Each structure stands twice: as structure tokens, then as C-alpha cells.
Chain A
Amino acid sequence: MRRRSRIKLTIAPPIGIAVLGASLVAAAIAGAPHPALRALVVFVVAFPLLWIALATTLTYTTARALRAVGVEVPSRTRAMGSFRLALTLVHRGRAFPAIGVLTNARFSTAGVVLDSGPWAEIPILEAGRAATSCWDVMAKRRGMLLVGPFRAAVELPGSAIRATAAFDKTYTVTVLPAVYHLQPFVDALLAGRHVAVGRFLKLPAATEEYVGAREYRPGDSPKLIHRILSLRTRDPNQFYVREFQDPSRDDLSLVLDTAPPLDGDAALHRYRLEKAICFVCALCRTFAARRLTVRFVCQRAARDVVTLRLRPLDVDLDRLEMELAQLDLTGDRATLGRVLLGEVRRHGAAVIFVSLRPREQLEQQRLHMVTLTPDHVPVFTREVVWQ
């Protein structure tokens, strides 16, 4: 799709205009009383004026003829990861090529605007042809990254203006949390805390759902034998049993602290949140790789507690990352306390609480859960992946 641009004109520096104008006037006045010099005076005065007029006209018409026909930008990326950004311009003019086109993009994320980014040059763009400018962009801040508007500046030598074509469309890139690689001993967090992945009951309860079949093992209840599947086997001594799972029961509860500090360094607290978010993300991926079902809980806003049930599926983990990408320090202590109490009271799941406080609170010590403070995060983190 070809989009028309908005043209912004930047006039040449006033001192240049003043000096040149005064010189033109001086030369004209000095030469006027001498008829013998008329041809010389006309040439001396007309040449710069014609040159400037031509360059200015070409600059403006060239900028007007530029169209943005394509922008290559991903819909999502990761913090600490870079992506290729490309803008394709087409020159719709017919007569003159566009010479020395400089292109630029504006980037903005929460509170940070990069407006003076590098200008990528297109030395010459023939009429009717297209050209592409490329940048590498690294987003270090999680959240929403706005890319655009794009600009293309044209200024022919001697022109009195710099014509900048602005293409107003803005593109949104979701910056997901950075990728942390965790130490292999992160499993130690579950040691002694988890009530095993196995089953308590020999027979399925009313709330359980059929999830699949597996080969019979000694100790399995004969009532669970899958008759149809067992009859299909060639070996008469081989049996299959049905498996059931309670969808309301999770293997692991992961609670993230999003409550802002009552006092202290806000920037430090925000930094801890960034670290905790990346850590929680990595933790969920690690446990999902071990076929555990993780229940992620955090407070997204006032009276808005998010609960995600993360099965070992990519779609669930992507949903988690999208949720984490938007998270901010918007929780409160009272809600957090209630959430923690509710998770600990849930049957069968181990609870890991990723706190933003440097020390475990007194009421948290009484609960049966693992509390990870910001100091613990580097212990379990092997490296941050720079992509």
C-alpha cells in the first residue's frame, strides 16, 4: 500500500540567507551604474539565484514524490534481543532521480524516546524505482515499543530548504522479557516442598478428567484397565490403563510480587521487578520442560489478579510472556497476602513466591512455601541471552 507523506520544511540557516542576500544586493547595486558590465552583473547575480531556485524546487518535488511501500518490523521481540527494521521507499516522480535521501525512524517506549536515531542513506533513487533502508534495533526495555513515524529527508546541494517527508503510520512491537538461562540445580527449589507428581487415589475422583492411556504397571487398579485398547494388543498379557487428572490441581504455583515499595529507591525496585519477571519467565519454561503444570499468579492492577494455568505447551508459555511484557508495579500488599494464603492452602501444589523485598516478611515465613528474594535470582541465573 502506498501512503502519502506529510512534508515538513526546514529553512536554511538565517545567517546564510542574510549573507547571501546582502551579497546579491551589494553586487547588483555596485554593478548597476556601469552599462558596460551589464552582462557580467546579470550572470554574477543570476547564477546563484537560479541554482538555489532549481535545487529548492527539486528538493521539494522529490520529497513529495516519495512513498513508503513497505515496513519490515516484527510484531514481537525480546528484551536484549535485536531485530532488523527495514523501510522501503518508492520514488513516484518521473523526471529526476532522488539524490541523497536520508531516512530515519522514531522509537518510543515508556518514557524513552529515540528521535535522533541514525539516518540511513539512499545515495540515489531512480524515478519509479524502490530502495530499502535497514537498521538493527535492540530493545532493552520490556513492554510496548512504538516504531515510527518514519521520515525521509531530501536536501540537494544549494537548496534553501530541507524537505522531510513524514510517514505517520506507527508500528507496535511487543518486547517480551529477556531470556535467562537458569542453572540446572533450579530443581532444588522443589525439593521437600512438592507432594510428588504421583497420585493419592487409586481410583479417579469425580472431578478428574480422562487424559490418556499407558501400559499397565504392577499396583494399578484393575478397574482402570482400558479394555478396548488392551484387546487390540497382540500379546494377551499386555494391558493398558486409563489415566485421569484433576484439572483443578496444579503441580506448582508461582506467585510474583508486583507491589510497589512503601519507601526506598523506586528505581532499584523497578530493576528488581525486571529481574524477577525474567526469572519467573525462565522458571516457568524450565518447569514446563520437565512436564510440570505451573499455575502462575500475579496482581496486574488494583483488584485484578491474573491466574494462568501453564501446561507444557508453547501456546501457554507465549500467553505468559505476553502477560509478563505488560506487567508493572501495580500490586498492593494486602492483595498479595491474600493470594499467597490462597495458594498455600490449595491442595498438593508447591508454592514459589518471587519477592521484590530483600528479606522474607514475618508472615511469609509462617507459610509453607519457598520465598525467593532479589538476591537469590543471580544464584539461579547462569546468563542473560543477548540475541
Chain B
Amino acid sequence: MIAWLRRVDPAFYHKEPHLLRTQAQIARYTDEAQAEVRLSVLTADRVLHAATTIVALSAYAAATGAGALDPRGDWLTVWAFAVLAVAAPRALPWWPRPDGRATWRQALIGSALIMILAVWTRVDPAVLSLALLVGATLYVARGRGRIALLVLAVGVLFGVRMAAHPLFVAPLAGVLAAGAGVLGVRAIARVWRLRPQVVTWSAFATLLVACAYIFAFDAPAVALRVPVEIAAIAVAYLGVCIMAGRIRRAELMARPVGVLSIPQSIVPLLDRSHHHAIICWLA
């Protein structure tokens, strides 16, 4: 019988090693796979995007004292906050990929931020020019340019507050502040994939830093509008809470594909590799 089989299929004994080299590819629900799926869930979450936008805009309103900052006198500070409020959410990893109209949209939002606040104060050519400047800056900044713009805005925020020797001390302070910001963001970005809830704490920290900034540099202007400030910050905090909830929801929903393929099923033999002695997937 064996001789007969060998005659019929001479390559029979050579098939087995070849077939056994075919490895099964089975997802083991690794942390990395989980993080990838979680990110895709977050990217598709419109509520999260809306909450992020609300947090950014509320933070902008709070940081500018709800219009207390003069767009003519403090135009650099207002410009920096407007740029941060519009560009920072778009640099977050869960923000959807920009389409063709994204740059126009963010330029218009940036200009509108300045114009809306100017309605309460006064509309004059200087305010319009600042709105145009914000729009143009946001329109030009794309890809890596957006990151550079964020770094520049952080540097400007701290640089303009250095009264002593504006040509030397101010740029230095700006560079130091921007460098510290970049280091902090990189450190958080390194852990956020595995522990996404760190984003919640980072968002709280960002709002607190913005508040510390206005307490330190614009306290007299903010003191006139404390209830509005509290309201703006409360909205921003609630937005952070919503973001935290959505991120936790994504953690629960994220499910990598279980068994991808098991080619050994066509082989009438056991898996020789023993690489996957146990396979477990969600029912």
C-alpha cells in the first residue's frame, strides 16, 4: 500500500516539510495591535472631535480673558492663542486626515475667532489685519509646518512677556519655553498609546498652564471678568471629561482581529512550530 502511494504521488514524502513551513498568522491581541485599533476608533469618533474643539475654543476664550486682551496692543499674544486654539487640536493623533478644504477651513476658523471677540470690543483695521494674519498663518502652515507653527506660538507667548532686552532675552525665553513644551509633548506621546488616559491629565495640565499664564501676566484684565472666565474654564473642563469618557469607550471597543488565518487546517498534520500552543479570542 505504501509503495502504491509512493508510485501514485512520488513527491508525497517531500510535501510534509514544505507544508509545515507555512506558519499560522494569529493576532495575539498585543498591546500594539490594541493601540492601533483604538486609534482607528478614536479617529472615527465625531463626538471626540467635537469635544476637542470645544475644549480648544473654551481655552482660547479663557486665555484671552473673554475679549479682555486688546488685539491691537497684545496682538502677538492674541495671535499665538488663536493659532494654538485652531492648530493644536488638528495636530492630535486622533484628528482625521485633512482633506482638500481643511486648510481653508482652519484659516476661516482662526480669523473668525479674532473677529467674534472684536465684536464685543471694537472693529478697526488693526483687528481686521490681525484676523487676516491669523488666517494666512494657519493657511500656510501644513504638514510639519503646523508643528513648527505651534512651537513658534508657544515661543512667542513667553517671549513677548520678557520686558528686558527684547532682542536677546525674549527669543531665549521663547526658545526655552518651546523646547520644554516639545519635550513634554514627546514624553506624553511616548506613553499615550499604551495608557491613553494620560491624555486626560495632559489636557487638564494644558488648561492649567494656560490659566497660570493669564494669572501671571493678565490678572488685572481677567479680574474684571471672573464669572465669564469661570464659565469658559468650566466648559473646557467638561469637554476634557467628555474626551476622557470617549477615550475610555475606545479602549473598551477596540478589538483587534482574532484569528487571521490558520493554513495548517489544510495540512493533515499537527502544527510543528508550537508557536501558538494556545489561541484565545473573544467570543
Contacts and interface: CB of A to CB of B under 8 A. Distances in A.
Contacts of B46: none
A219 to B, nearest CB: 33
Interface in B190-223: 190-191, 195, 197-198, 200-202, 204-209, 211-213, 215-216, 219, 222-223
B208 A34 contact: no
Contact of B277 (A40, A119, A141, A178): A141
A184 B2 CA distance: 14
Contacts of A140: 270-271, 274, 276-279
A343 B2 CA distance: 24
Contacts of A34: 215, 219, 223
Given A100-B248, A112-B277, A155-B197, A40 B222 contact: yes
Contacts of A27: 208-209, 211-212, 215
Given A40-B222, A159-B197, A48 B208 contact: yes
Contacts of A116: 28-31
B12 interface: yes
A68 to B, nearest CB: 17
Q: Which of A43, A105, A275 has the most CB of B within 10 A?
A: A43
In this complex, the interface size class of chain A, counting residues with CB under 8 Å from chain B, is 35 or more
A195 interface: no
A74 interface: no
Nearest to A383: B268
Given A12-B195, A157-B245, A378 B12 contact: yes
A278 B270 contact: yes
A343 to B, nearest CB: 22
A310 to B, nearest CB: 23
A48 B234 CA distance: 11
Nearest to A105: B280
A381 B200 contact: no
Contacts of A36: 219, 223, 226
B277 A123 contact: no
Q: Which of A30, A112, A117, A137 has the most CB of B within 10 A?
A: A30
A121 B270 contact: no
B233 interface: yes
A137 B280 contact: yes
B163 interface: no
Given A140-B278, A141-B274, A386-B265, A19 B283 contact: no
Contact of A141 (B190, B216, B256, B278): B278
B223 A185 contact: no
B258 interface: yes
Contacts of B216: 30
B188 interface: yes
Interface residues of B, number: 70
A118 B208 contact: no
B278 A138 contact: yes
A105 B207 CA distance: 39
B282 A118 contact: yes
Contact of A145 (B209, B234, B278): B278
Given A12-B201, A118-B255, A376 B278 contact: no
A346 interface: no
A41 B215 contact: yes
B252 interface: yes
A135 interface: yes
Contacts of B237: 47-48, 51
B206 to A, nearest CB: 8
Given A15-B191, A19-B188, A386-B265, A40 B208 contact: no
A114 interface: yes
Contacts of A188: 1
B219 A135 contact: no
A36 to B, nearest CB: 4
Q: Which of A40, A116, A268 has the most CB of B within 10 A?
A: A40
B272 interface: yes
B197 A118 contact: no
B104 interface: no
Contacts of A82: 279
B205 A118 contact: no
A378 B226 contact: no
Contacts of A267: 272, 274
Contacts of B2: 376, 379
B55 to A, nearest CB: 13
A381 B191 contact: no
Contact of A137 (B202, B247, B272, B279): B279
A275 B270 contact: yes
A178 B269 CA distance: 10
Contacts of B120: none
Which 7 pairs of residues, A with B, have the shortest CB-CB distance? A157-B244, A134-B283, A23-B208, A141-B277, A30-B215, A36-B223, A23-B205
Given A30-B215, A118-B258, A138-B280, 13 more contacts: A12-B197, A16-B198, A19-B201, A27-B212, A37-B226, A100-B248, A118-B29, A118-B280, A120-B283, A158-B197, A268-B272, A275-B270, A379-B2
